[in-house]
Structure 1
C-alpha cells in the first residue's frame, strides 16, 4: 500500500488555475474510474471545491498521477506542475487530517470542508474506488476532526465565507434591508449564503436555477421567489446583489448581459459575488464601472477576522493531528507485512498437508500409529525449521550476526 496525495489549493494556485483543474461533481465518478482503468492507481478519492482540487490514491507512480491529471484536463504538465503539491504517506495523511479539521481552509476552522470531504469519500465508495487504505485514512480523518472540535476551540470566532459575503455587500450599500438579492444556483454554498442574507431581511430575495422547482424550494424557506436561469436577462436589472455558485463549465453571466442590465438600472451599482469554480461570471464584467465583482479569493481579507484568536487552538489541533498521523503510519507499516505473513502461513499449511498425506498413507498400510505419529512430527519439524537453519548456515560475517540475533528473537531463544 502506497498513499500518494497531490493537488492544489487557494494558497498554491490562483483562481484562474484552480478553475482549470476543478472536477465538476458530475464528472468525478468518470474521473475516478479513469484513474483505475489507466492503472494510475488502485484506489482513489477526488476532492474538488472552490478552494482546492486534491487526489488521494493508492499508487507507487507519482509521474503517472501527474501525467493523468494533465491529460484529463487537456493541459501541459509543465503548466500545472508548479502549482501542485505532491505528498507521500506521512505528509499526505497529515494533510488529509488538516483538511478535515479546517486547518488548511481559507476560513481557519470552518466546518463545511468536512462535509465536502465526506461527500468525496461517499462518491468514491459508490464508484468502487475506495479500498482498505483510503477508507482507513478518511475514517481516521473524520475521527480526528471530531476530536479536534471537541477538545479545542479551533472553530471559535470563525468568520465564514457566507458571512463574509454579507459583510462585503455592507461595504457598498448602507443597509441590506434596502437591497434586492439574487442567488444563482441552489446548492449548499448558495443555501449557506442565503441564510446569512435572509437574516438581514433584504427587500427581496430570489433564486435562479436550472430546475425552478428546486430553486423555489430553497427560496420559500426565506420568503423569496424563484426564476429559471433562462429568464436571467429579463430579471437581472431588478437586483442590487447577485451571488452565484453553480457547477456550470461556462460563464452564466457575460459582460454583455450585465451591461444591458446596468443601462436599465441607469448605472445604479450592482454587487456581484462569484463563488463558483470555474467562474460563473466573465472576468471582463469587473471592467464595468458600476459593478463590484468579487471572487472566492477576494474574501480572504474578510475571513481573516478572528483568525488570531484561533491560532493557539490550531496549535493544539496540530498536536492531535501529529499523534494520529503516527498511528496511521504504524497501521500502514503493519499492512506492509501482511503479504509476507500470508505467504508464510501458506507455506506452513502446505508443509502440514504434505506431512498429513504421508502419515495417512502409512496408516493405510497398517503401520503402528505411534511410529507414524513420531515420523509425522519429525517430518513437520524438519520441514518448518529447514529454511531458517539453512539461511543461518549460509550467512557470513555481519550478516551471520544479524541472522543469529533475529532468529533468537523470533523463537525466543537463549543460547547462553
Structure 2
C-alpha cells in the first residue's frame, strides 16, 4: 500500500482550472466513498479556494489520480499540466508545509490548518481514515503547532479578509460611507465581514440561501439579512459586494450587474469573489464602473510583510525536514511489521515442534537430561539452518551483504 498525495493549487493552476476540481462540502462524503470503494483503502480530501488535494493509501496511485479527473468529468490531458503527484516522503513534507502556512497565498496564514482539520473530520466520519492517514495527519498537526510556537512565520501576515478591506479603500475614500453586501454565510464571509465591520460601514447586509443563517451572521455586525432570491433587486443599493458560497454555478451574472450599474447611475461597485468555483461571471469584469477581483487577483496585496517572514519560514523548513525524517522512520518500521510477524511465527513453529518431540520422549521415560540436551541441539540446528544455508549458497556481492547483515543481527565480530 502506497501513501500518496496529488492535486493542484494556486502555484500550479489558474482559478479557471482549480474551480473545475473543487469539492463542495456537501459532496465530500460521497466523493470519499467513491474513491475508497474503487482505488484507495484510505482517503482524505482537502478542498479550498486555493487548492484541491487528495491524500490516500492506495495499491495503485495512478488509478487514484485518474479517479480525480473521472469524478469531475475533466479530461486528464487538460489537467495533467497542473497536477502534482507526491510519494510518501514528499506527501508528508507537503502536508507539513501546507498546515504550517508555508504553501499558502498568505505566507504563514492560519486558516488552512483549520481547513485541513475539517477535511480530516469529514474523512473520519465517513470511515475513510486508517492507520497511514491517521499517523500522517496527527504528525501534520503536531508539526504545525511546533512551527507556530518556535518561529515567527505567521507574524505581520495580511489575511485575505484584511486584503479585501484594503482593496475597497483603494477605490473608495472611506469604508464608513459604504453599504456592504455579503453573499453567503460561511467561514470566509464571516472573516471578511469582521474586518469590514471594524471600519463601521454605513450598512451591512448578508444574502444567503437560508434566511435564518444569514440573520445569525448579520446580527453579529448590526446588519440585516436577505434571501439570495432577493439579490437581483437588492444589488443596486450596495457599493461593495463580497461573495463566497459553495454554489457550482455563478450567482451573480453580467446582466444583473449591468442593471445595477445603470440604476446606480454608474457609481462604482467593488466586487470581491472569493468562491471556487466562482460566484460572479467572469464577464462582469468587462463592465465599466465595476471593479471585480478574485482570490488570485489579491495575491499582490497579501504579499505585504512577506519578506519579514521569509527568515522565519527558513527556520520552519528546518523543523519540517526533521519531522519528515521521523515520519519516514515510522513508515519503515511499520513496513517491517509483517516480516517481523512472519519471523516470529516461524520461530514459534520450530519451538513447538521441538517441544512436542521432547514431551513424547519424556512420556516414554527417557532420561530428562538427555531429552533437554537433544531439545537444545534441535532448536539450535533449526534456527541456525536458514542463515548458514544462505551464506553457503551466496557468492560475490550477495555473500558480502549477507555476511554484513548477519554480523549486525547477531552482533558478531568474525575478524576478531
TM-score in terms of structure 1 length: 0.96
Q: Deviations over 1:139-196 (max 9, x none)?
A: 1111111111111111111010000000111111111111111111111100100000
SS of corresponding position for 1:208:
strand
| Map of 2:104 onto structure 1 | 105
SS of corresponding position for 2:300:
helix
| Higher alpha-carbon deviation: 323-332 or 243-252 | 323-332
| Map of 2:310 onto structure 1 | 311
SS of corresponding position for 1:12:
coil
The offset of 1:314, in angstroms, is 0.9
| Map of 1:403 onto structure 2 | 402
Alpha-carbon separation, structure 2, partners of 1:208 and 1:163: 21
| Residues 66 and 77, structure 1, Cα contact 8 Å, conserved in 2 | no
SS of corresponding position for 1:300:
coil
The 5 A counterparts of 1:316-335 are 316-335=315-334
- The 4+ residue runs of structure 1 with deviation greater than 6 A are none
The offset of 1:209, in angstroms, is 1.1
RMSD over aligned CA atoms reads 1.6
SS of corresponding position for 2:296:
helix
The offset of 1:134, in angstroms, is 1.6
Query: Does residue 16 in structure 1 map to residue 16 in structure 2?
Result: yes
Alpha-carbon separation, structure 1, partners of 2:316 and 2:47: 24
Query: Does residue 25 in structure 1 map to residue 22 in structure 2?
Result: no
Alpha-carbon separation, structure 1, partners of 2:365 and 2:30: 66
Alpha-carbon separation, structure 1, partners of 2:179 and 2:348: 76
| Residues 363 and 372, structure 1, Cα contact 8 Å, conserved in 2 | yes
| Residues 96 and 144, structure 2, Cα contact 8 Å, conserved in 1 | yes
| Residues 43 and 134, structure 1, Cα contact 8 Å, conserved in 2 | yes
| Residues 4 and 60, structure 1, Cα contact 8 Å, conserved in 2 | no
The offset of 1:304, in angstroms, is 0.9
Q: Deviations over 1:95-132 (max 9, x none)?
A: 11110110110001000001001111111122122122
Alpha-carbon separation, structure 2, partners of 1:346 and 1:191: 58
| Map of 1:385 onto structure 2 | 384
| Map of 1:185 onto structure 2 | 184
The 5 A counterparts of 1:355-394 are 355-394=354-393
Q: Deviations over 1:265-313 (max 9, x none)?
A: 2222211110000001111111221211110001111101111111111
Alpha-carbon separation, structure 2, partners of 1:260 and 1:402: 79
The offset of 1:55, in angstroms, is 1.1
| Map of 2:167 onto structure 1 | 168
**Aligned residues, how many?**
415
Tell me: CA distance 1:145–1:379, structure 2 relative to 1, closer, same or farther (3 Å): same
Alpha-carbon separation, structure 2, partners of 1:311 and 1:211: 43
Alpha-carbon separation, structure 2, partners of 1:361 and 1:306: 81
Unpaired runs of 5+ residues, structure 1, are none
The offset of 1:366, in angstroms, is 4.2
SS of corresponding position for 2:23:
coil
| Higher alpha-carbon deviation: 103-112 or 340-349 | 340-349
Query: Does residue 2 in structure 1 map to residue 6 in structure 2?
Result: no
| Residues 32 and 44, structure 1, Cα contact 8 Å, conserved in 2 | yes
Query: Does residue 36 in structure 1 map to residue 36 in structure 2?
Result: yes
The 5 A counterparts of 1:11-410 are 11-39=11-39, 41-410=40-409
TM-score in terms of structure 2 length: 0.96
The offset of 1:60, in angstroms, is 4.6
The offset of 1:374, in angstroms, is 3.1
The offset of 1:199, in angstroms, is 0.3
Alpha-carbon separation, structure 2, partners of 1:312 and 1:413: 48
| Residues 2 and 61, structure 2, Cα contact 8 Å, conserved in 1 | no
SS of corresponding position for 2:332:
helix
